[in-house]
């Protein structure tokens, strides 16, 4: 099985990586490889490899700043998962 894990460096993502059996292949691109604030890149990545499953553990979690960074919060938490 081929899994694309988004947010592999976060609390949830790190735990998922720890729990993943060795036979399962997991690609966990970091923010430097895929910035979810620029969702156009997501489709290209998903189409570049035959992933069986996409796990989205990435999120804009700076809730105190979300109202000031409204567009960024929506891009990461709404538009990116939609893509």
Q: Report if residue 42 touches ligand NAP, rule: CB under 6 A.
A: no
Residue 62 CB, nearest approach to ligand NAP (Å): 8
Cβ atoms 51, 25 nearer than 8 A: no
Q: Residues 8-37 vs ligand NAP: string with x where CB under 6 A? A: -xxxxx-----------------x--xxxx
Integer Cα distance of 44 and 47 in angstroms: 5
Query: 25 vs 58, which CB is nearer to ligand NAP?
Result: 58
Q: Is 7 left (phi over 0), alpha (psi -120 to 50) or beta?
A: left
> Residues interacting with ligand NAP, by CB under 6 A?
7, 9-13, 31, 34-37, 57-61, 76
């Amino acid at each position: 099985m081929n899994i694309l894990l988004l947010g592999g460096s976060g609390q949830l993502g790190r735990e998922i990586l720890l729990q993943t059996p060795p036979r399962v292949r997991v690609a966990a691109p970091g923010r430097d490889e895929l910035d979810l604030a620029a969702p156009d890149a997501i489709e290209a990545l998903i189409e570049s490899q035959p992933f069986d499953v996409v796990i989205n553990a990435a999120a804009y979690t700076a809730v105190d700043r979300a109202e000031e960074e409204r567009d960024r919060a929506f891009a990461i938490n709404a538009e990116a998962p939609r893509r």
